[in-house]
Chains A and B, each alone.
Chain A
Amino acid sequence: MNPTVVQRIRTSDEFRAQVGGKASSVEDQGGHAVAVSSAEGGAPTLTSLPAYRYVAGLIAVLGLVALILIFAPYFASHPVKTSGPAGLAGQAAPVFALYDDRGQPVSLAQYRGRIVVMNLWASWCPPCRAEMPDLQRLSNLYAARGLVIIGVNQGESPQRARSFAESLQIHFPIWVDGAERYGRLYSALGLPTTVILDRRGIVVRGIDGPLTFDEMRGAISPLLVPKQS
């Protein structure tokens, strides 16, 4: 502040009541906003008081934003994703081309509009063998209501997959995933792994380990409710 132009100092309230001319400078003293009137004109003036207030406010806001940005990630609750096959629940099922046990190209996309139970299995896996007849029974019961069972062999040859299915009189589609891509996508923890998709192709459940017939039926029953028109 230039002392030559200082004539008198008023509190902010006084200043607001009397201000009317051109301001030359503004000072802050004793915790009060004060105005300085010019020696020449006598009337208190105001240009930089709001500017300083804006700057002070901006500094405060930036400091607050900085604190939030620094600490928020450490205190924010992150949704805990379930590991294993349950982890993809709620997401669209990945679709890619495979071949069935007879060498025909197949894809999950062809089953949109139907409920899909995808069972990952291998012939060397005793629990897989044990639950196959129940899967066939489920397919027989609910095929008319839009249910499709697909057995996705993991890592074996089409011939082995077909002979295994024939030995158990399995009639639902058997696909061959030689590179075990579904096993990786669904983070399979072992075999069998069962994944249930709704009619839109969204993963509803991923289940690790063998299921009984009642467990299978319980898992698909919410999806079998006919759509409300």
Chain B
Amino acid sequence: MIGLAAPALLIVVAVIVQIALPGRAVYHTGWYNVGLAALVIYALFVSRARFRAARTTRARLAIVAIVVGAASAGVAGVTSGLLGPDNETIVGAPGQRARVEGLGALAFPLVSVESAGDAAVTLERALRAPTAIGPHPHDAGNFILRALPRDVAYVEAWDSRGNHLTVTQPTGATFLSPVLLMEHRQTIAGLNLPFDSFNLPAARRVVKAVLFTPAQAAMFSHGLAQPGEAAVLFAVDDENDRLLPHGIALSAGGRTVEVGGLHLRAMVTRYPAIEVASAPNLVVTAIGAMLVLGGIASFIAPRR
């Protein structure tokens, strides 16, 4: 009995760990999935011998329950590891809808700069009610989702005459958006910093924006940033990517700065991105665990 129950329990525990601690790269590795598949095959092999040796229907049903449960959970785990996509963090601008293959669409809410930190991204799936995704893991079939707040910058630009300028992001996920998602990183003075860029077509300018956390801003801003203020360093190029004279300035605490003939302002706020991790199906794992435990209990329980 132990020869069958042990691998079955091991499979169920491994798959539960995949759900409880989602997003680990190890679940997609070959050796992990080969190991899990080998356990399933071993359980099937052992169950065959045990089934033949069993003398009662009750014992045979218990063996079938254990092996079906272990196989269900194991197949769910291996399928998730091999067929499921690698972990992905979906970063969207407020108002944007991002499609996730095999899942549905994520709607990033339109919010003001002040309330961006409280925004909840909504998962929209066919035939189901929209669901808000919070910081706690949310089970969505073969996926587990959770919100990860991250720093973004809302920028505004004016020309020298005070005309408000359209901000575009030709290389970003959304062409028309003043919200910089800061998805790229660059090392400056030993610091690995997030950065983004945007265009001001009316002024024929390209602006690079590097984000500093409050601690980094306090270290490097030489007093331009007050304690606790995040800051954005602007570098303004012309349309031929040449840096303009006086084309670098730091905007801290949402204050407007004059740089390269423009007036720029950046307000740093938190806005959620969504981490999507493939995971074994929760319902299948529950069924598998139930069958395995039921089968084992049937062996242990005294016969009437």
Interface segment out of the listed B27-35, B171-179, B219-227: B171-179
Contact stretch, chosen from B185-193, B228-236, B248-256, B282-290 = B282-290
Chain A residues within an 8 Å CB radius of B287: 62, 65-66
- The verdict on A190 contacting B110 (CB below 8 Å), with A181-B95, A184-B93 known, is no
Chain B contacts of A52 at CB under 8 A?
A: 57-58, 61
- Show 9 residue pairs from A and B whose CB-CB distance is below 8 angstroms, ordered by the A residue: A59-B64, A65-B284, A65-B287, A73-B102, A122-B202, A124-B166, A155-B165, A181-B94, A184-B93
From A59, A67, A94, B61 is in contact (CB under 8 Å) with: A59
Docked pose: A33 CA to B201 CA in angstroms: 82
Contact B96 A184 (CB under 8 A): yes
CB distance from A64 to the nearest CB of B (A): 10
The docked-state distance in angstroms from the alpha carbon of A185 to that of B291 is 47
**A71-B76 Cα distance, complex, nearest whole Å:** 9
How near does chain A come to B265, taking the closest CB pair, in angstroms? 13
B164: Cβ under 8 A from any A Cβ: yes
Which of chain B's residues has its CB closest to A34's CB?
A: B57
Partner among A59, A63, A65, A122 whose Cβ is within 8 Å of the Cβ of B166: A122
Which stretch, A102-110, A156-164, A219-227, touches the partner chain B?
A156-164
A120 at the interface (CB under 8 A from B): yes
Which residues of A99-130 have CB atoms within 8 Å of chain B's CB atoms?
120, 122-125
**How far apart are the CA atoms of A38 and B234 in the complex, in Å?**
92
State A87–B99 Cα separation when bound (angstroms).
10
A-B contact count (CB 8 A): 133
Tell me the B residues contacting A by CB distance below 8 Å. Answer: 55-58, 60-61, 64-65, 68, 71-72, 75-76, 79, 83, 93-97, 99, 101-102, 105, 110, 126, 141-142, 162-167, 174-179, 201-202, 281, 283-284, 287-288, 290-291
Q: Report whether B164 and A74 are in contact in the complex, using a CB–CB cutoff of 8 Å.
A: no
A70 touches B284 (CB 8 A): yes
Interface check A135, CB cutoff 8 A = no
Binding site for B on A (CB under 8 A): 1, 26-28, 52, 55-56, 59-60, 62-63, 65-67, 69-71, 73-74, 78-79, 81, 83, 87-88, 94, 96, 120, 122-125, 154-157, 159-160, 178-181, 183-185, 187-191
Chain B proximity of A50: nearest CB distance (Å):
12
- Closest chain-B Cβ to A170's Cβ sits at a distance in Å of 18
Q: Which residues of B contact A184 (CB under 8 A)?
A: 93-96, 110, 174, 176-177, 179
Q: When the two chains form their complex, are residues A62 and B176 in contact, meaning their CB atoms are under 8 A apart?
A: no
Contact of A74 among B55, B68, B83 (CB under 8 A): B83
Q: Which residues of B contact A189 (CB under 8 A)?
A: 175
Are the C-beta atoms of A188 and B202 separated by less than 8 Å? no
Given the complex, which residues of A lie within 8 Å of B142, measured CB to CB?
A: 70, 73-74
* CB–CB B57/A63 < 8 A: no
